[in-house]
């Protein structure tokens, strides 16, 4: 009994190790400075405060934002605003990243149904909780929107794959949450309908299809398609297919050479696509719809639904973003889908392969996952430092811009964190030739490449902010 307890304690520690490390990075490098779309949440607070009556206030949650309706983001922004007294974007980051914990929980629930050692679950958190996701991780709105919609979609697939009646009714509510968290929430509806058809649950097909049509209608009611998205006209089919495989293989974006990266992600994205397609065809042909002697279990339906959704998402994102260039499909905020595809394929592997008493195999899989986690964290660490520095530079620019800094809104929507350069703002604002700070603290270095103006005299409290100054 003692040995079993110690063994389980060890695996629990190993499973939560990458999760703890991930949230350590979040606590250390998250900063309460908005980026781009984050400012739209301030506009939402103003709209909500100015709306007269309950109906107009509710409507502000569902107002279109770019291609999306982000009621989930807005709801928690309002909660944070009420509790904190202003919008704290770090809180939004934490809320969004907690939904990533929800994704891990869904995978654990699926894994739990297998009669295999908990050791085989250990690679999943090492693949999921890592810094390739840095752009979503440290961006308030993006964390809630992009991680939140993935959580709701996987939850929806999990519920639809279950034969429990209560799960179907909960699934309808989760479908609403997915729809109003991000635009791709509605793309999972056809997948859910396919899963219900494969189970021959035709009454539920009718009910869910009806709910889906209502949600889609409401989503596109008074919808305005963004005009700034470039068309894919003139882009060859070869480039679109290439972008599709880059998107699917972006989890393997591990080398600093961009051209080499693209080749690797294309090859491995193609491999993931072929494996995912074979798994999907196999499961569909073995469903109750096509095979009277066979019926897909909950795990198989979940895996099939996840693969269909992830490949479908790759098609949609590639079609809508390929105009910006294939390199854009390696963007950090898209990599969650490639990561999830890799995890889903791993799940079917440990489900279908006889793993009993194969200690060498489980040791190898865990070692590979740990090495992967270390490598991607090392490669992407500089990205979170640069991202933090970019946000700090935004804050400094706002402080130095008199048009912004002199504007005092009636409602305190947001409060800038104290920056290390704050004591020098008054000096920096003076004309260069008159400011003491420029006369005494600046060195000028002339070299063959040009002139470098350098200042190393600011007292910066931590190294993670040093380069910005």
Angle at 290 between CA 287 and CA 296, to 5 degrees: 10
Residue 83 CA, chain-centre distance (Å), reads 25
Give the separation between CA 217 and CA 149, rounded to whole angstroms. Answer: 19
From 310, 283, 303, select the one nearest 110 (Cα to Cα): 303
DSSP line for 304-351 = HHHHHHHHHHHHHHHHHHGGG-GGGGG-GGGHHHHHHHHHHHHHHHHH
Structure tokens that stand for 306 in this block: 């996840």
Q: With beta carbons less than 8 A apart as the criterion, state whether 335 and 133 touch.
A: yes
> What is the per-residue pLDDT for 6?
63
Q: Which residue has the tokens 């196999």?
A: 282
Give the separation between CA 414 and CA 257, rounded to whole angstroms. Answer: 40
User: Phi and psi of 259, rounded to 5°?
Assistant: -65, -40
Give the separation between CA 48 and CA 78, rounded to whole angstroms. Answer: 9
> What is the per-residue pLDDT for 1?
46
> What is the per-residue pLDDT for 326?
82
User: Phi and psi of 445, rounded to 5°?
Assistant: -115, 120
Structure tokens that stand for 447 in this block: 């070299």
What DSSP character marks residue 87?
Answer: B
End-to-end, the C-alpha distance of the chain in Å comes to 57
What is the b/e burial string over 146-171, where b = at least 16 CB atoms within 10 angstroms of the residue's CB? bbbbbbbbbbbbbbbbbeeeeebeeb
Q: What is the mean pLDDT for each group of 10 consecutive residues in the chain (469 residues)?
A: 63 93 96 91 92 92 90 96 93 97 96 87 96 95 96 97 94 96 93 95 95 95 78 78 94 82 92 96 91 85 97 92 85 94 94 74 91 95 91 82 59 78 61 51 55 53 56
Q: With beta carbons less than 8 A apart as the criterion, state whether 296 and 186 touch.
A: no
In 35-192 the beta strands, taken as DSSP E runs, fall at 64-65, 68-69
Residue 422 CA, chain-centre distance (Å), reads 33
Q: With beta carbons less than 8 A apart as the criterion, state whether 158 and 301 touch.
A: no
């Amino acid at each position: 009994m003692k040995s079993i307890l110690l063994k389980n304690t060890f695996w629990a520690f190993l499973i939560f190790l990458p999760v703890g490390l991930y949230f350590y990075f979040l606590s250390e490098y998250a900063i309460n400075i908005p980026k781009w779309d984050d400012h739209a949440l301030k506009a939402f607070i103003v709209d909500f405060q100015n709306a007269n009556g309950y109906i107009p206030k509710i409507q502000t949650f569902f107002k279109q934002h770019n291609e999306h309706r982000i009621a989930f983001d807005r709801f928690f922004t309002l909660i944070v605003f009420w509790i904190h007294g202003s919008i704290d974007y770090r809180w939004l980051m934490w809320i969004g990243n907690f939904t990533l914990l929800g994704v891990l929980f869904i995978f654990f629930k699926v894994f739990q149904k297998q009669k295999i050692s908990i050791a085989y679950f250990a690679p999943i958190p090492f693949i999921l909780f890592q810094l390739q996701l840095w752009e979503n991780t440290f961006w308030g709105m993006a964390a809630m929107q992009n991680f939140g919609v993935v959580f709701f979609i996987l939850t929806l697939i999990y519920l639809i794959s279950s034969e429990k009646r209560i799960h179907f009714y909960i699934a309808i509510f989760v479908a609403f949450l997915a729809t109003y968290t991000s635009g791709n929430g509605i793309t999972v509806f056809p997948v859910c309908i396919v899963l219900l058809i494969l189970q021959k649950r035709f009454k539920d097909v009718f009910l869910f299809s009806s709910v889906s049509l209502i949600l889609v209608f409401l989503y596109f009611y008074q919808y305005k398609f963004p005009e700034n998205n470039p068309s894919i006209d003139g882009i060859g089919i070869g480039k679109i297919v290439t972008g599709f495989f880059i998107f699917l293989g972006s989890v393997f974006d591990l080398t600093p050479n961009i051209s080499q990266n693209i080749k690797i992600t294309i090859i491995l994205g193609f491999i993931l696509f072929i494996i995912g397609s074979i798994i999907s065809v196999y499961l569909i042909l073995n469903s109750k719809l096509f095979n009277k002697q066979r019926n897909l279990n909950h795990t198989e339906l979940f895996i099939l639904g996840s693969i269909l959704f992830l490949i479908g998402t790759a098609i949609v994102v590639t079609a809508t973003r390929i105009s910006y260039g294939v390199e854009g499909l390696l963007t950090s905020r898209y990599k969650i889908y490639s990561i999830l595809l890799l995890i889903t394929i791993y799940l079917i592997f440990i489900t279908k392969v006889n793993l009993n008493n194969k200690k060498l195999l489980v040791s190898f899989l865990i070692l590979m996952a740990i090495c992967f986690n270390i490598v991607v964290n090392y490669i992407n660490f500089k990205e979170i430092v640069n991202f933090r520095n970019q946000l700090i530079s935004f804050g400094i620019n706002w402080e130095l811009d008199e048009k912004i800094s002199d504007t005092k809104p009636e409602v305190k929507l947001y409060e800038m964190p104290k920056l290390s350069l704050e004591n020098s703002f008054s000096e920096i604002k003076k004309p260069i030739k008159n400011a003491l700070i420029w006369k005494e603290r600046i060195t000028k270095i002339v070299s063959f490449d040009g002139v470098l103006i350098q200042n190393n005299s600011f007292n910066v409290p931590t190294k993670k902010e040093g380069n910005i100054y």
